[in-house]
Amino acid sequence: MFHGFISVAPKCDVCGLDFAFADAGDGPAIFVMLIAGFIVVGAALGVEIAYEPPFWVHLLIFLPLTLVVCLGMLRPLKGVLIALQYRNKAEQGRLRDP
């Protein structure tokens, strides 16, 4: 369903479903920030408390970890949100015609 890293393809390769409805917006990003923040900050705190390493060790471990966790979760989470949007027929709110 993707065309490139996170841009959505125009339609499904398998069943031809039109992905014009798909608009996850900032949804994937906020979940990635919350989950990655929890993982990375928690791990950094754990390492600091357990080993008290110098600052450059934190940089060396947690900058790459942050990148891997964020980039690794972005695409699957976007897929999940689009699937949920489709399943629940979620769309932008509109005023009813008078």
- The footprint of Zn ion (CB under 5 A) covers 12, 14-15, 17
Looking at residue 11, the DSSP 8-state letter turns out to be B
Comparing CB distances to Zn ion, the nearer of 14 and 49 is 14
Comparing CB distances to Zn ion, the nearer of 2 and 38 is 2
Nearest to 24 by CA among 44, 6, 45: 6
User: Given phi > 0 = left and psi -120 to 50 = alpha, else beta, which region is 93?
Assistant: beta
Shortest reach from residue 17's CB to Zn ion, in Å: 5
Comparing CB distances to Zn ion, the nearer of 41 and 83 is 83
Shortest reach from residue 67's CB to Zn ion, in Å: 31
Cβ count within 10 A of residue 28: 20
Shortest reach from residue 78's CB to Zn ion, in Å: 16
